[in-house]
């Protein structure tokens, strides 16, 4: 119970502020409530199936075998696997860093790790499903394709900009973060 309250502390505070504001300023009442319900509806309807899919992803996608194919010289296959690995998750960007450490430890190439980070940040499949629903398929798919190009470009540009030393040092730092 205590844990639940702590977890919902911010929500409760905002709920109180929300209610107070509606009482003090009645002119915003209708708009605030309808906007809240509108967004709530999207979330309640769309989120459950996405999280079920996520759970299934997590259980069925064999991460271990995938990470073995990310080394230098893994070519297009390595890039595709890096994309798939990053896209099949739902965590925030900072959740990707520890996983990147695992990839570095297991011999993943620097380029593929950058692809993985990029994919984790923007081309997540569960997120795409949600984006289609909220923003429309045209917006979502365009952003998806543009992002894939962007991720490849950014990874390539980083690899051009940095020296071999930078790359080795970065891979070592990453691998040392592996617990």
Partner 1 sequence: MSTIILYSIAITALLISFFNDRKKTKRALKKAFKSLTNILPQFLTVLLIVSILLAFFNVETISKYIGEQSGLLGIFSSAIIGSITLIPGFIAFPAAAELLNNGAGVAQIAAFISTLMMVGIATLPLEISFFGKKIALIRNGMAFIFSFAAAAVISWVVLL
| Residues between 4 and 43 with contacts to partner 1, criterion CB under 8 A | 7-8, 10-11, 14-15, 17-18, 21, 28-29, 31-33, 35-36, 38-40, 42-43
What region does 178 belong to: left with phi over 0, alpha with psi -120 to 50, or beta?
A: beta
Contacts of residue 111, Cβ cutoff 8 Å, sequence gap at least 6: 79, 155, 156, 159
Residue 120's closest CA among 155, 158, 77, 160? Answer: 155
Nearest distance from residue 149's CB to partner 1, in Å?
9
Closest to partner 1 by CB, 28 or 72: 28
Chosen residue from 67, 137, 148, 164 binding partner 1 by CB under 8 A: 137
d(CA 159, CA 157): 5
Nearest distance, CB of residue 167 and partner 1, angstroms:
9
> According to CB under 8 A, which residues from 56 to 115 bind partner 1?
56, 58-60, 90, 92-94, 97, 100-101, 114
């Amino acid at each position: 119970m205590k844990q639940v309250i702590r977890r919902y502390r911010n929500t409760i505070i905002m709920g109180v502020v929300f209610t107070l504001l509606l009482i003090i300023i009645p002119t915003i009442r209708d708009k605030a409530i309808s906007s809240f319900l509108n967004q709530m509806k999207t979330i309640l309807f769309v989120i459950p199936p996405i999280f079920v899919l996520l759970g299934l992803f997590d259980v069925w996608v064999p991460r271990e075998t995938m990470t073995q194919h990310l080394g230098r010289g893994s070519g297009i296959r390595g890039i595709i696997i890096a994309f798939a690995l990053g896209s099949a998750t739902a965590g925030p960007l900072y959740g990707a860093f520890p996983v990147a450490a695992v990839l570095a430890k297991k011999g993943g190439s620097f380029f593929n790790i950058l692809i993985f980070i990029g994919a984790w940040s923007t081309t997540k499949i569960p997120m795409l499903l949600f984006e289609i629903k909220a923003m429309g398929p045209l917006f979502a798919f365009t952003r998806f394709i543009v992002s894939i190009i962007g991720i490849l470009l950014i990874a390539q540009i980083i690899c051009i900009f940095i020296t071999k030393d930078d790359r080795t040092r970065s891979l070592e730092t990453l691998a040392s973060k592996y617990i």
